[in-house]
Structure 1
């Protein structure tokens, strides 16, 4: 489990939407750990939860396969490569995040366009449930594009669940839909109570026992617990937490943000850079580890707490109807994200389109592994000067 996610953590460029595409290609298409509907159900669950959706999907995949150890192994493999690189950059800040040419970075982003496009098409083909499903998917896409807010995503998902109850006939679950869940409902409830206890208790503890370590843990835990949408959405919360108190200079914050953009894996790993950049102890490697664990702790508690109940709910006939609507919304949200920000922020010239189509053909027609397509796009971008032409 660790090695599978370590490879993804080293090669998954493009942000959370692209990560879901990489996961779909790796675990649904290649390894067949679960079917497209089960994967969409996991994504739907993580859309409801605050925090980084792609990391939570990874934790859930690890949990359903190998229990707590699997969840931790999946998180560590996917997160540590970028976190270690960002801590090293924080310690040896020199003005530039690395020696990767700008064209190569742009090529990696173009590879993400192809990966997301393939994921959207694959999920749409496998989950299609008639004209009403297609209409709901397109409606979700339109609303997501017209209301580009982090809070719109859970609202669209919840509305689609209600529409699913009205539009789709409840059907009993298929036998293969059940998950092997090593966590019981009592343990799940305990994890949810722990999440609520830390969310309410850490601010009180920071007020009663003033100390930098507790203050950092409180700030980063709240950032991970209260943000919907993940990724870039957490950046304003982190900036408000570390820059005004003087923990991190704004220039260093922006430099680290630029470095995080060039990293594979979750953008939440940016917390490790901030922890290592603190002007007061703990900082360095210990500060980076503290802030990294604090910002991801809510995700672990919520996923392990919600999965046992979600496993039962998704097998309920009426819940299956609601999930049909949610699945349509998930595909619609991915389609909206494929256009903005993935397409609009990357595709600027005919050469960009040509490279994206070549990458999509390599994935869909030639069945090349995603990591090889990513490397190929990076090399092609560096050789052709894609960024300069764009």
Structure 2
């Protein structure tokens, strides 16, 4: 997707360019995945013209279709289209590392401290409630606009809360996909877009998909026979990264089920989730904080690599097949059902663990209401909400 006359001399120069631009975005892209896509459009498309508008729209559509962090996958995809697989890796590093470093430092600061009684930590938990509530409302308006999809979402939320097992969410996502095929395959429309040109062969794409599915099924089995903390950690984060549909916030219930209470307390978990709202870059970098709380810098490296690896394998594996895949009405119908289920899973997470852990008194509810007003109606940036939440939590602790 490089326009003639724009490509720098040499592969190394091209990769350095990708790293420089993506790092700039990683340092400045606040506001969540939708905002990230706007930053990408401005920097990659309008300013540098690395892709045309239609190709960028096609890439965004593909990343909305795949599980994983959509904005990160768009960035990886642009890097791949610009400089091949190594370009995708470079784009991911630039966009991700700034927030990973910030969250790892935050985790190392908290390690060994009793944070359960800290007012500002409780304020961060309330921030998490507000952020996820906004996500539920926004995603609900977009992904459950009719009676059938709203019913799917509510039923999934109910089952998620009442039947909490390691496999319940996976089963619910699959069932919602089947329901979506049944209800929506005939009403789905094929997008009228031109084919996307991809510098990856289908054989390489198939290899990436084989690795993705191989790790997804083999890691849990290997974990049963090999007693190693690093393997268990890698498996938990890899599966969580593989099963997230609809955006980074949906990873919250998956990770919470994997890590709490075996690896860490709810207080530590939710404090990091609140802090993740204050840094730029993808929300999946929350994994860096969690890994650091579990096993220092080594744990942060394992967790971050594991949770993002599925996104890289999927975008590299799907790009060469997207032109035909997006025209399949059954695939589109399944996606409609899965997206509705995602809203239900997030709705369940809003209640447990977020609401039940953070909103304990009338003062907590008042603070949450004020923060929600600031975020949703006053349109204040998330970092201001985080600062206000921490300050409000500190104030409540003295009341």
Structure 1 residues not aligned, in runs of 5+: 12-21, 47-52, 208-214, 240-252, 277-284
Residues 30 and 363 (structure 1), Cα distance of their counterparts in 2 relative to 1, 3 Å cut: farther
- Distance in 2 (CA, whole Å) between partners of 1:319 and 1:361 is 38
The answer on 1:299 being equivalent to 2:323 is no
Residues 84 and 26 (structure 1), Cα distance of their counterparts in 2 relative to 1, 3 Å cut: same
Q: Secondary structure at the match of 2:339?
A: helix
Shift of 1:329: 0.8
Shift of 1:157: 1.1
- Distance in 1 (CA, whole Å) between partners of 2:172 and 2:215 is 28
TM-score by length of 1: 0.67
- Distance in 2 (CA, whole Å) between partners of 1:329 and 1:362 is 28
The answer on 1:187 being equivalent to 2:204 is yes
8 Å CA contact retained: 1:64, 1:182: no
8 Å CA contact retained: 2:256, 2:269: no
Residues 381 and 178 (structure 1), Cα distance of their counterparts in 2 relative to 1, 3 Å cut: farther
Shift of 1:305: 4.7
Q: Secondary structure at the match of 1:172?
A: coil
TM-score by length of 2: 0.66
Aligned length: 330
What are the equivalent positions in structure 2 for 1:187-266 lying under 5 Å apart? 187-195=204-212, 218=231, 220-226=233-239, 230-235=254-259, 261-263=270-272, 264-265=275-276, 266=285
2:376 matched residue in structure 1: 364
What are the equivalent positions in structure 2 for 1:60-139 lying under 5 Å apart? 60-67=73-80, 68=88, 69-86=90-107, 88-89=108-109, 95-96=112-113, 102-139=118-155
- Distance in 1 (CA, whole Å) between partners of 2:118 and 2:231 is 37
Q: Secondary structure at the match of 2:66?
A: helix
Shift of 1:359: 1.4
8 Å CA contact retained: 1:44, 1:326: no
Residues 358 and 173 (structure 1), Cα distance of their counterparts in 2 relative to 1, 3 Å cut: farther
1:210 matched residue in structure 2: none
Residues 361 and 39 (structure 1), Cα distance of their counterparts in 2 relative to 1, 3 Å cut: farther
Shift of 1:159: 0.6
**CA-atom RMSD in angstroms:** 4.3
Residues 260 and 363 (structure 1), Cα distance of their counterparts in 2 relative to 1, 3 Å cut: closer
8 Å CA contact retained: 2:72, 2:92: yes
Shift of 1:346: 0.8
Q: Secondary structure at the match of 1:262?
A: helix
8 Å CA contact retained: 1:192, 1:301: no
- Distance in 2 (CA, whole Å) between partners of 1:338 and 1:176 is 37
8 Å CA contact retained: 2:33, 2:70: no
Shift of 1:300: 5.0
Residues 325 and 57 (structure 1), Cα distance of their counterparts in 2 relative to 1, 3 Å cut: same
8 Å CA contact retained: 1:164, 1:323: yes
Residues 341 and 254 (structure 1), Cα distance of their counterparts in 2 relative to 1, 3 Å cut: closer
8 Å CA contact retained: 2:25, 2:39: no
